[in-house]
Structure 1
Amino acid sequence: MKLKVRALMFLLCVTTICVLWRGYRPCSLPQEKSPCACERCLSEDDPWFMKRFNKSVEPFLSANYNLSEDAFNWLFLTVPPSPDVLESSPDRCRTCAVVGNSGNLRRSHYGPLIDFHDVIIRVNAGQIKGYEADVGTRTTHRVMYPESSMDLDNTTHLVLAPFKTAVWIYPKSTGPNSDSQQVMVLNPAFMRYVHDMWLEKKGYYPSTGFLALILALHMCDEVSVFGYGADSDGNWSHYWEKLNNKRLKTGAHPGDTEYRMIQELDEQQKLRFYTGF
């Protein structure tokens, strides 16, 4: 009997000590270390949750991540099976107008000439409304990097440049009757080809405008180029903006190299370059 009383008193003492010191030190038997400092961790064993949760799947793409073939194929389900382009033909002359955003388009009156082309490629957020006389009214393709995303009507193909560390959640045109078939994604191999072969690896990567220009050489039989280069004062500016920074340059893009290549292509009669002044 005395032994039972002693055992009971011992348990009561231990319980009391644990209660008093609970916030200071654990009194339970050692357990597996918790994966987080929260009161309850998401990754704690829960049959319903763990049936779906797979921590081994990396949420972000990195240079060291090996994308599985299944994931690669799933990704490209969002891309049209074939690009919507005019095919070459002996009885057709495919004409392209590539419209950059240079300030030298101001008062150029190139609008009707631009609109006369079969394919009209514009770059990033190039404005039309209010500038129709100089830049035209039609757009068949608009080439963009992620940070230049904008709403498009359902007659314009969105040409995505899948580059930089920004993320495209889902490539889309956002007009009232938008259609995923209007989306075209530039091949990263094409972008590297432009950088390596046409720019001889100058700069970090091609500008959107230069990508659009080389794209036009691949899509059309005759190419006309408008709105490239610095304005008449030597400033790199947009035709729809008032230039406040007189020292604005081309950043990571090799602007001078790109401009010289356009001039060379014009001299070789591979395109027509309309300088605007």
Structure 2
Amino acid sequence: MNGKVFKAFKSLMQALFIIITIIVASELVGLHHPWASLTNAWISGPVGTRWLCQVGHAKEKAPLVIEDYRSTNELFVKLFDYFWNPAQELWSLPYGFKGSELLLAKVLAQAVDHRLPDDIQKLSCRTCVVVGNGNTLRNSSLGKLINQHDIVIRLNDAPVKGYEQDVGNKTTMRLFYPESAFFDPEEEDPDTLLVLIPFKPDDLRWLKELLYNDKRIMKGFWKIPPLLWNVDPTKLRILHPYFLNETTVKLLKITPVPLAHQLKLKNKEKPTHPTTGLIAITMALHYCDMVYVAGFGYPGLNDTQVPIHYYETRTIKSMEDSEHNITREGDILKQLADIGAINYLKNIS
């Protein structure tokens, strides 16, 4: 190598070092550079208290599995969607709000906000982790890694208190439905958004009764939901049914059947519904730049002694009459992981 070539090579290496140093420093102070993905070939995982983010990664990968995919910043229902846009009125719950407009209006009159926090919205690149409830989280020591993501999504009534080392203690949003609302809102991070997935009109009615302190009507639930619920209405959101449609039709490949039609079916075969976890992953793939998952997967059908959740002792036997196709969902998660649309969070220490 002659002197001129060596000098040019040295200058190039110095320039690359400076670029990488700037990117890493920006991550340490909480900034996402649009060109930060240049370093992903050399650096993966957390830097300081943040997680490196590759802009548009999910947007690039998700269309390989989700037909007619489109990213969106609109996750939650707002009144405008259903009272000034007739095209949204074609479906009843759980795929739309046809026939439930009055209930929806009353709920949104109390829980009027449909936005995400400004500090999340302004990020140029968002990393998300969907924390499942699986037993694989037990003794995983993933808590610190989970906390380092911009958005931490939790499911149903899975507890945080007492399990922080394995599941972290940061919660950006918690997706739930009435029968799974047995978590204490006062134990949540005060900034946590509580996101209702309404599967049936009774779910909206339940929330309306709590918000207005109306007489509780307990009919219509497979499990009696909480009768008292001390929740800040400004932290309530209603998940847009678009994501249930995307999960059901494009991932599970199921023709959607509204609840009213399900009740009229002559055969007694239970319909198949996506799990809260798969709905959450679908939502994350439409909003986040990078999607990680932890705590997903069920024990084998013959592993009857292994708990299905990290916080309780129920086993796979309890899923025998489930309306979820956990085998199909497992295949979908593998497919998403194989193409890099989602990444399983692992503790490499």
Q: TM-score, normalised by structure 2?
A: 0.53
Q: How does 1:1-277 map to 2 (within 5 A)?
A: 67=99, 73-84=105-116, 86-87=120-121, 92-149=124-181, 150-152=183-185, 153=188, 154-164=190-200, 165-166=202-203, 167-170=205-208, 179-201=232-254, 204-231=272-299, 233=303, 237-243=308-314, 245=315, 247-249=317-319, 251-274=322-345
- The Cα shift of 1:75 comes to 4.8
Decide whether the 8 Å contact of 2:134 with 2:295 is kept in 1: yes
Partner AA of 2:199 in structure 1? F
SS in 1 for 2:293: strand
Bigger relative contact order (CA 8 A; separation at least 6): 2
In 2 relative to 1, CA 179–127 (structure 1 residues): closer, same or farther, beyond 3 Å? Answer: closer
In 2 relative to 1, CA 195–109 (structure 1 residues): closer, same or farther, beyond 3 Å? Answer: same
Decide whether the 8 Å contact of 2:137 with 2:166 is kept in 1: yes
In 2 relative to 1, CA 231–105 (structure 1 residues): closer, same or farther, beyond 3 Å? Answer: farther
The whole-number CA distance in structure 1 between the counterparts of 2:192 and 2:337 is 27
In 2 relative to 1, CA 183–231 (structure 1 residues): closer, same or farther, beyond 3 Å? Answer: same
Partner AA of 2:155 in structure 1? V
Partner AA of 2:235 in structure 1? Q
Is the radius of gyration larger for structure 1 or structure 2? 1
SS in 1 for 2:174: strand
SS in 1 for 2:242: helix
Partner AA of 2:340 in structure 1? Q
Decide whether the 8 Å contact of 1:229 with 1:236 is kept in 2: no
The whole-number CA distance in structure 1 between the counterparts of 2:319 and 2:236 is 31
SS in 2 for 1:120: strand
- The Cα shift of 1:74 comes to 4.8
Describe the superposition over 1:106-126 as per-residue Cα deviations: whole angstroms up to 9, x where unpaired.
111111110110110000011
The whole-number CA distance in structure 1 between the counterparts of 2:248 and 2:93 is 21
Partner AA of 1:264 in structure 2? Q
The whole-number CA distance in structure 1 between the counterparts of 2:277 and 2:288 is 16
- The Cα shift of 1:267 comes to 0.8
SS in 1 for 2:154: strand
In 2 relative to 1, CA 66–117 (structure 1 residues): closer, same or farther, beyond 3 Å? Answer: closer
Partner AA of 1:87 in structure 2? Q
Decide whether the 8 Å contact of 1:114 with 1:120 is kept in 2: yes
Decide whether the 8 Å contact of 1:228 with 1:275 is kept in 2: no
Describe the superposition over 1:8-42 as per-residue Cα deviations: whole angstroms up to 9, x where unpaired.
xxxxxxxxxxxxxxxxxxxxxxxxxxxxxxxxxxx
Partner of 1:35: none
What's the C-alpha RMSD, in Å, of the aligned pairs? 3.2
Decide whether the 8 Å contact of 1:94 with 1:118 is kept in 2: yes
Q: TM-score, normalised by structure 1?
A: 0.65
- The Cα shift of 1:62 comes to 9.8
SS in 1 for 2:317: coil
The whole-number CA distance in structure 2 between the counterparts of 1:242 and 1:69 is 40
- The Cα shift of 1:174 comes to 5.6
Decide whether the 8 Å contact of 1:127 with 1:240 is kept in 2: yes
Describe the superposition over 1:133-171 as per-residue Cα deviations: whole angstroms up to 9, x where unpaired.
111111110000110113223321001001134442337
Which stretches in structure 1 are left out of the alignment for 5+ residues? Answer: 1-60
The whole-number CA distance in structure 2 between the counterparts of 1:266 and 1:62 is 30
